[in-house]
Amino acid sequence: MYVFAAISAHRQKSLTMPTPMQDAAPMLDFLKQDQDPLTGKVMRRVRSFVLREGRLTAGQQKALDSLWPRFGLERGAGLLDPQVVFGRDAPRVLEIGYGMGHSLVQMAGAEPDKDFIGIEVHRPGVGALLMATDEMGISNLRSYCDDAVDILELCIPDASLTRVQLYFPDPWHKKKHHKRRIVQSAWVQLVQRKLAPGGVLHMATDWENYALHMHEVMQTEKGWENLAGDKAFIERPEWRPETKFERRGARLGHGVWDLLYKKI
């Protein structure tokens, strides 16, 4: 049985886990679940990301301090109530592992008729998202800083999402690490539960092997329609902005594969 989690779009290769005393609250709640109740030490669990905090800029830290109460969401609040969080009940889009948040902020600004929820474990990225959200005057975007599977299980009501987005997750390219890939049968079934009928799961990767893995997993699951039809992959939908990372890869001849599946 695998433990799945949110992953950053920016690849992390080493693990430097902060203790829960290092400003873990009020975010990174999953660290509290990993803490040994007797020793207080963090116990490592198998996850599909590694937590390497990196250095917070002064702006990112200020955003976390001042904007988190406004735009941040906590697992401790339980099931998300859209009327409380957004002041309305609009179609909701959830993105797992938004990195520095540039494209997610852009999408929220471009689709004001929808409400967006991001999940990211790396606080520099969360801080950057909060800054951009505030600077652009966006009101339809909120973020968790936590483990995505825990949030899906504990905080997202069933059949409540219009779209789930997973863009450029860590491919864990070594075969011995494939078990860490977030796209596995149990994760797909969890996402399916959270999507409303007709809702879509949109994935994108720049690793062909992972794209084929995603397609293979989806083909084994019932209750999905591949919107690419007879083709395995689809052209980038207009709602997904092309990232700098993606454009740089294209210049180097790297491909990008988008997969779009509808819950039926």
In the chain, the number of structural domains is 1
Kindly report the pTM of this predicted structure: 0.82
User: Could you tell me the two tokens for 125?
Assistant: 């990225």
DSSP 77: G
* 2-27 pLDDT, tens digit each: 344 433 343 333 333 333 334 444 56
Q: Is 150 an active-site residue?
A: no
First to last CA, the chain: 26
Domain membership of residue 174 (yes or no) is: yes
Indicate whether 5 belongs to any domain.
no
- Look at residue 203 and tell me if it is in a domain: yes
Angle made by CA atoms 254, 260, 264, in degrees to the nearest 5: 165
8 lies in some domain? no
Question: Does 87 fall in a domain?
Answer: yes
Q: Which two tokens stand for residue 126?
A: 């969360």
Give the span between the Cα atoms of 250 and 174, in whole angstroms. Answer: 23
Q: Confidence band (pLDDT; 50, 70, 90) for 34?
A: low
CATH code for the domain of 120 = 3.40.50.150
Q: Domain range for residue 84? A: 30-263
Domain assignment present for residue 15? The answer is no
Q: Residue 228's CB: how many other CB atoms inside 10 A?
A: 15
Distance CA 121, CA 202 (A): 20
Catalytic residue among 146, 147, 170, 258: 170
For 157-207, what is each residue's pLDDT tens digit?
A: 999 999 999 999 987 666 764 676 999 999 999 999 999 999 999 999 999
Q: Output the CA torsion sign for 97, 123, 19, 76.
A: negative
Within a domain: residue 204?
Answer: yes
The DSSP line for 7-38 is --SS---S-BPPPTTTT-TTS-THHHHTB-TT
Give dist(CA 96, CA 258) in Å, integer.
Answer: 15
Q: What three-state secondary structure class fits 142?
A: strand
Closest of 49, 33, 30, 27 to residue 98, by C-alpha: 49
